[in-house]
Amino acid sequence: MKVIISGGGTGGHIYPAIAIANELKAIDPTTKILFVGAEGKMEMEKVPRAGYEILGLPVVGIKRELTLANLGFPLKLSRSLLRARQIVRDFQPDVAVGVGGYASGPLLLAASLKGIPTLIQEQNSYAGLTNKVLARWAKRICVAYPGMDAFFSADKIKLTGNPVRSDIQFADQQVEAGRKLFDLETNRPTLLIIGGSQGARTLNESIEGGLSRFVEAGVQVVWQTGPAFIERARAAVATLGSPLIKPYDFIYDMDKAYAVADAVVSRAGALSVSELCLVGRPAILVPLPTAAEDHQTKNAMSLVDHKAALLVNDRTAREELVTAALNLLNDPVQRQQLSTEIKTLAKPNAARDIANEVIKLTK
């Protein structure tokens, strides 16, 4: 079986794609998998690190506002379509999978025009533009939230949840390894800050402003800042002079990070929400307000409405987030309630279910 998996741009697209690929290989090790991403985007580094081949397209996204950058969009799109057609012709896949992001558009369109069955995986509670366009040709659409028939034909939809990396499912077995990796003390509460693969300025500035409060409370902070903020974070920690604050530009061992966390502060991207459900960690979500169609708020509310997470608004986070985090860490009853409820929303078999749908299309 030959499968092309296309898309990327963010960890929220890349890691579900890798999870699907891993599951396909687990079911049948002879499966040949080729990834297609966007040149210059993070998938071109993350996918080979996971052990898979990836080819790049020169595609870029179109800006929603009027900008000179949009002038080059038609040419790059045309070049990407030609390149995608060549990739499909050379690899001759049995099925093509799109996980969202720039590259999935040209590739899935090229595959559809060749009569190759396609599957879309939509991570969010509000469908992305690329997936909405591609849905007319897709044979199957795997979604993470109910009610997605507002965007897609109901007869194509399969509710699977979002696939996450297999190591996340065994995070609870990594507590000691996590403490060693992050150099943590066993008798102190630990707060994990994750703002997505690129970091989140609001979260970073909110945490930066409250570092002394965490130190005074004896709280250890494992802080993923993203590459743009890391030097500023390190400078702030150096000024503070406390070993309790641990800044990292990127955390690869997320299973170990979740394992040591007594509570988590996170954006509400689809992948982060799915991982939090799976590991059952009490969480404070700060949705990115500029996300397309405000889909991160919709993702967050799917938990908040079930009393499975707390929400802090982005515009008030600098004043409220640190206090909310400290209050949560000081309230073991609420942490246990949130942990219990969020686990009920987990879909641990998502990657296997999607892989099975892919296999069905090849038959």
- The predicted pLDDT at position 64 comes to 59
Q: How far apart are alpha carbons 35 and 105 in whole angstroms?
A: 13
**For residue 298, which of 309, 287, 310, 307 has the smallest C-alpha distance?**
287
Phi-psi region of 245 (alpha: psi -120 to 50; beta: other; left: phi over 0): beta
Contact (CB, 8 A) for 35 and 43: yes
Q: Which residues are annotated as a binding site?
A: 10-12, 124, 165, 197, 251, 270-275, 296
Burial call 269-307: b when 16+ CB within 10 Å, e when fewer: bbbbbbbbbbbbbbbbbbbbeebeeebbbbbbbbbeeee
- The predicted pLDDT at position 72 comes to 61
As to burial, measured by CB atoms within 10 angstroms (0-12 exposed, 13-18 middle, 19+ buried), residue 315 is exposed
List CB contacts of 187: < 8 A, sequence separation 6 or more: none
Q: Which residues are annotated as a binding site for UDP-N-acetyl-alpha-D-glucosamine?
A: 10-12, 124, 165, 197, 251, 270-275, 296
Contact (CB, 8 A) for 155 and 342: no
Walk along the chain (363 residues) and give the pLDDT tens digit of each residue. 999 999 888 777 898 999 999 999 999 999 999 999 999 888 999 999 999 999 999 876 655 556 656 566 677 788 999 999 999 999 999 999 999 887 899 999 999 999 999 999 998 888 888 889 899 999 999 999 888 999 999 999 999 999 988 789 899 999 999 999 999 999 999 999 998 777 899 999 999 999 999 999 999 999 999 999 999 999 999 999 999 999 999 998 999 999 999 999 999 988 899 999 999 999 999 999 988 778 899 999 999 999 999 999 999 999 999 999 999 999 999 999 999 999 999 999 999 999 999 999 988
State the pairing for strand pair 53-57/95-98: unpaired
Q: How far apart are alpha carbons 7 and 37 in whole angstroms?
A: 5
Q: How far apart are alpha carbons 319 and 176 in whole angstroms?
A: 34
* pTM attached to this predicted model: 0.84
| Number of residues assigned to the chain | 363
Instruction: Tell me which residue has tokens 């849905």.
Output: 135
Q: Which domains does the chain have, with CATH numbers?
A: 2-162+348-362 (3.40.50.2000), 166-343 (3.40.50.2000)
229 φ/ψ angles, rounded to the nearest 5 degrees? -110, -5
- The predicted pLDDT at position 146 comes to 86
**For residue 270, which of 233, 230, 241, 298 has the smallest C-alpha distance?**
298
Burial call 38-58: b when 16+ CB within 10 Å, e when fewer: bbebbbbebbeebebebbbbb
Helix (H) or strand (E) holding 285: strand 283-285
- The predicted pLDDT at position 197 comes to 73
Q: Which two tokens stand for residue 262?
A: 């007594």
List CB contacts of 359: < 8 A, sequence separation 6 or more: 1, 24, 27, 28
Burial call 156-184: b when 16+ CB within 10 Å, e when fewer: bbbebbbbbbbebbebeebeeebbebbeb
